[in-house]
Structure 1
Amino acid sequence: MKGQFSNILCVLHDTHGQDVLVERAMQIANKHNASLTIMLALEALPPNARMIMQSFEYLESDSSLTQSAQSWLDEQIAVWSKQYPAKGIVSTGHRFINIIRQVVSADHDLVIKLNENDVVSKITGSDDRHLLRKCPCPVWIMHKVRTTSLQNVVAAVDVNYHYPQHEVAIRKQLALDILNTAWRVAEAENASLHVVHVYDAVPENILRQGFISVDEDAVQHDLSKIKLEREEEVNRLLGLIALDHNDESPTIAEPAVHLVRGYPRRDIAATANACNADLIVMGTLSRLGVPGYIMGGTAEETIEQIDCAVVGLKPDGFVTPVDVDG
């Protein structure tokens, strides 16, 4: 079931200041009764190292790097495992590729890592973006500063199903998965859940700018129909989730639903910020089945405008474009 994690991968990209991330990952693993693997993902020695070393010296140094890193991690695992059992692995090379290969080979259902960007208000660096675009399981990018327990969890859902028919069922399932994940995280954290949907007002703006002429009453009527349609769908999805959680305890308070008329690329982030979001759960794709549209423009721009953690989800059946057998 989405949102219930059983095999978590916690990724470290440094040997300094990692205790807070590991502690947080262990808290999450404990709440989900999940197994935990801690991966120290290092970049390989730079290619120009070959220019200043003989070939055998380079290979020896590369091997020594891995061995030293594994020794460090083994010592840390011995300490960290006193709080929660974990195992450790080391990889060197292209970080995001090795992370995805580990996810596929070990069937992890959640990746947790710190934002790698030096600017803490920007949640994602290069590897983070690659993972949000290409990792087949949910990716939880934690804020460098705000790593403590959560107060407000936002589920950003797209319940606009006016797309080609072959996409609709996938979009409905993804919306349900986003809500279910956000619900379970909020429940585990004893946090408030906010459901955000922004219905696009661009057509309305075009009309008002005079490019075409229509009856004003008709415009308002159409907007009212859109709002009702989206409200009914959000309530339907929440009803399905409530039924799934009916026999479980504890549960969360009734979610706050925010239906906003506006521009998704601006107003999803604005609404999440207004909710004092500590975490936003969202889909990180655009048009389904269209090559190159893994990280949608709406997701990309939303992430740029928020100052909180992100959990990015893919639809069922998503296959990573990374060569996992290389």
Structure 2
Amino acid sequence: MEMYQNILVIIDPTTDEQKALKRAVDLASRIHKNNNTAINITAFFSIFDFSYEMTTILSHNERDSMRQMVIDEKQKWLDEIIAEIAPNTQVTSKVVWHNRPYEAIINQVIEHNFDLVIKGTHQHDKFKSVVFTPTDWHILRKCPCPVLLVKDHEWPKNGNILAALNIGSDESEHSSLNSKITKQAKQLTAVVDGNLHLVNSYPGTPINIAIEVPEFDATEYNAVMLKHHQEAMNTHAEQFGVELTNTHIGEGLPETVIEEFARKLDAELVVLGTIGRTGISAALIGNTAEHVIDQLNCDVLALKPDGYISPLAN
């Protein structure tokens, strides 16, 4: 597995519990064991204190000096965290001063060619649901490399990995993204000794047609749609050597179907594609992947289509 050789781990400065770092160390050791490849891990976060920027009585150099003192203090804390969590792993630590965490993260990815970002998500004990911060959404939309959002649990042997596909579409972008999702999910499955499952949703009968056209046969329509998606899924599964018994197709919205099968299979990880949207369209429409991610209660690996360029890339 050659795709993850340079991993950026996003540290949460509010806690000593660093699930993203733990996941990175575990994944790196498994990849190394699998093919003897050295993996670079960088633990990173950005800090910003507006009060340092507003101190007009200080000179420019004095402000720089104060900022550096804060950075050095945080860097020392981070090095202690790394020594505790990953004593036997080479991890580089990096702290920068930046007022927008997601920009600082994506800048690092672009400047240093990271091929995976790992970040912890926030869990609400009250509902046992995951809450995503604005930073999470910005990273998912704008980060050019894969993003792994993790929760606080292990990836056990023989666990299930679910690749969420958009099968049945004739668009080449969907086809190439389906291939990318399946390849990465398959490689991860091999590394963690897991089981790969493929899931796809298809739309049900359009309600307005069923109402407005009395002779419309909803049952026949559904049967034709299911057959089309089943055949497309079988072709895709055979192409990638996935057992047909590990393919799943459901009628309904992607977010509903993917969440349902992730729950049924008790999936450790869902791998899906996300088309980066920015501006008004992102605010109004959102992204299918984002709706899916919101519903899931497991780790998520989000991939961009080949050729995606981040809006932050200058």
Q: Look up the match of 1:35.
A: 39
Letter in 2 for 1:206: N
SS in 1 for 2:239: helix
| Structure 2: tracts of 5 or more residues without a match | 33-37
Aligned length: 302
Q: Matches of residues 148-167 of structure 1 in structure 2 within 5 Å?
A: 148-149=155-156, 151-162=159-170
Question: 1:282 Cα shift?
Answer: 0.8
Give 1:114's match in structure 2, choosing from 113, 120, 137.
120
- Tell me how far 1:291 sits from its aligned partner: 8.2
Whether the 8 Å contact between 2:19 and 2:120 is mirrored in structure 1 is no
User: 1:46-85 counterparts in 2 under 5 A?
Assistant: 46=50, 48-51=51-54, 54-56=57-59, 58-77=63-82, 82-85=87-90
How far 1:312 sits from its partner (Å)?
0.6
SS at match of 1:146: coil
1:226-237 aligned within 5 A = 226-237=225-236
* SS, match of residue 55 in structure 1: coil
- Find out whether 1:206 has 2:208 as its counterpart: yes
Q: Where does 1:268-279 land on structure 2 (aligned, <5 Å)?
A: 268-279=258-269
Equivalence for 1:179: 182
Relative to structure 1, the CA distance from residue 221 to residue 183 in structure 2 (aligned partners, 3 Å threshold; closer, same or farther) is same
Matched position secondary structure for 2:250: strand
TM superposition score normalised by structure 2: 0.83
| Pair 1:227–1:38, CA change in 2 (3 A) | same
Q: Which runs of 5+ in 1 are unaligned?
A: 163-167, 243-251
Q: Deviations over 1:103-135 (max 9, x none)?
A: 111111111111146666124211111111110
**In structure 2, which of residues 188, 191, 206 is the aligned counterpart of residue 188 of structure 1?**
191
* Match in the other structure for 1:102: 108
What are the within-5 Å matches in structure 2 for residues 241-280 of structure 1? Answer: 241-242=240-241, 256-280=246-270
CA distance in 1, matches of 2:67, 2:226: 58
Kept in 2: contact 1:74–1:88 (CA 8 A): yes
Amino acid in structure 2 at the alignment position of 1:260? G
Match of 2:96 among 91, 97, 116: 91
Contact 1:198–1:259 under 8 Å retained in 2:
yes
Deviations 1:140-190 (A, max 9, x none): 0001x324547221111111315xxxxx22210101111122222222222
The separation in 1 between residues aligned to 2:16 and 2:269, in whole angstroms, is: 21
Whole-Å separation in 2 of the counterparts to 1:207 and 1:100: 45
Name whichever of 278-287 and 6-15 sits farther off: 278-287
Give the Cα separation in 2 of the matches to 1:134 and 1:198. 25
Seen in structure 2, the aligned counterparts of structure 1 residues 173 and 291 have a Cα distance that, compared at 3 Å, is: farther
1:284-307 CA-to-partner distances (Å, cap 9, x unmatched) read 2278x9984598532222222221
Deviation string for 1:17-60 (max 9, x for gaps)? 245432321121122235222232123112x4445673345443
Aligned position for 1:248: none
Q: For the Cα contact (< 8 Å) 1:4–1:184, is it kept in 2?
A: no
Question: CA separation in 2, counterparts of 1:136 and 1:88?
Answer: 22
Please give the alpha-carbon distance, in whole angstroms, between the structure 2 residues aligned to 1:117 and 1:12. Answer: 16
The answer to whether the Cα contact below 8 Å between 1:123 and 1:307 also exists between their aligned partners in 2 is no
Q: 1:319 aligns with which of 302, 309, 312?
A: 309
2:153 aligned partner, one-letter code: R
**Contact map agreement 1:123 1:308 (CA 8 A) in 2:** no
Name 2:219's counterpart in structure 1. 220
Q: String of CA shifts for 1:175-220, please: whole Å, max 9, x gaps.
A: 11111222222222222222111101152x3333x1223342xx43
Q: Does the C-alpha gap of structure 1 residues 293 and 237 become closer, same or farther in structure 2, counting only changes over 3 Å? A: farther
**Which letter does structure 2 place at the counterpart of 1:40?**
F
* CA–CA separation in structure 1 for the residues paired with 2:180 and 2:139: 18
In 1, Cα distance between equivalents of 2:174 and 2:43: 32
Correspondence for 1:246: none
Calculate percent identity across the aligned residue pairs: 25
Shift of 1:236: 2.4
Q: Distance in 2 between matches of 1:199 and 1:263?
A: 7
